[in-house]
Amino acid sequence: MTPLRQRMLEDMGIRNFAENTQQSYLQQVSLFARHFARSPSGLGPEQVREYQVHLVEDRKLAPSSISIAVSALRFLYKVTLRQPWAVDDIPMPKKPFRLPVVLSPEEVTRFLESVHRTKHRAILMSSYAAGLRVSEATHLKVTDIDSQRMMLRVDQGKGQKDRYVMLSPRLLEELRAYWKAGRPETWLFPGDIPGRPITRDAVGQACNKARLASGITKPITPHSLRHAFATHMLERGVDVRRIQLLMGHRSLATTSRYLRVTTSTICATTSPLDLLPALGPVQPSAPHPTHF
């Protein structure tokens, strides 16, 4: 490990960055250095701009992917290298706003019925029942299940914040059946490596396999179940603020975006056309003269 890489890792550790963020930033800086075959300490604003053009025009990356690279480079030059030039002037690409693809309750049922491994069904059902991020679901521990208060403890979710979410009686029944079959000890959903939880990739593969088996044409990822949780709760009339707390959103605006996809409040609204009086039949138009 180079001294610069070690120092950047220490700088992120001091600020208590999440492990995934640290690994992502290090990877992005490594790709940047490899592109120029030089240490980032010897590169500057012109090289950063050239690299951004490369990401857009040559690699054709999505704005969200470019944003990760920009964030990593901003941190490197502003915090670790303390460069005097205006690091904040490194432009951040504007992300297009896209509505999430939401499964209907019937599609969620069909999808979960297509998950044939007990562990995979239990973790995907947990994601939907409690609106969990995939990283939160994979890191659930046996001790996080509080059947007395009917709560699930989410330990160090996004932003490194703990929270409690509801424990569905139906989910509790499913988890008990799963626990009796496998008897997990520490991690509720252990992975193939002893002492480690199931990986995000393993959950993603199980999700894709179930989507193909279900015949659902919509794209489905583990995060789709979190989207479905929020949307279905809103459609049932649950307060947005309560959903924000359950999902662990820092901003209410993040939760409010689901208002755009709730069929009960958007698509079920009466069109003004339906409020007009009945229209008479179309009157035939006079023939157009063919000459003066």
59 assigned to active site: no
Domain extent, residue 77, equals 3-89
Number of structural domains the chain divides into:
2
- CA 1/CA 10 separation, integer angstroms: 12
250 assigned to active site: no
What count of Cα atoms within 13 Å lies in the side-chain half-sphere of residue 83?
18
| Section 237-258 average pLDDT | 77
**Residue 158 binned pLDDT confidence (cut-offs 50, 70, 90):** low
Catalytic entry in 119, 133, 139, 211: 133
| Residue owning tokens 């890489």 | 5
- The answer to whether residues 170 and 136 belong to one domain is yes
- The answer to whether residues 150 and 28 belong to one domain is no
Kindly tell me if the per-residue pLDDT of 236 is higher than 90.
no
Domain membership of residue 202 (yes or no) is: yes
Give burial (CB, 10 Å; 0-12/13-18/19+) of 268.
exposed
Domain membership of residue 98 (yes or no) is: no
- The answer to whether residues 215 and 83 belong to one domain is no
51 assigned to active site: no
Average pLDDT of every residue of the chain: 87
**Residue 160 binned pLDDT confidence (cut-offs 50, 70, 90):** low
Residues of the chain with pLDDT > 70, as a percent, come to 87
- The answer to whether residues 150 and 46 belong to one domain is no
226 assigned to active site: yes
pTM of this structure: 0.67
- The answer to whether residues 112 and 237 belong to one domain is yes
Kindly tell me if the per-residue pLDDT of 247 is higher than 70.
yes
The CATH number of whichever domain residue 126 belongs to comes to 1.10.443.10
pLDDT digits (tens, 9 = 90+) for 79-135: 999 998 887 778 898 877 677 788 999 999 999 999 999 999 999 999 999 999 999
What is the CB neighbour count within 10 angstroms for residue 269?
A: 9
- The answer to whether residues 135 and 242 belong to one domain is yes
- The answer to whether residues 128 and 26 belong to one domain is no
Using DSSP, state whether 116 is helix, strand or coil. coil
- CA 111/CA 103 separation, integer angstroms: 9
- The answer to whether residues 76 and 155 belong to one domain is no
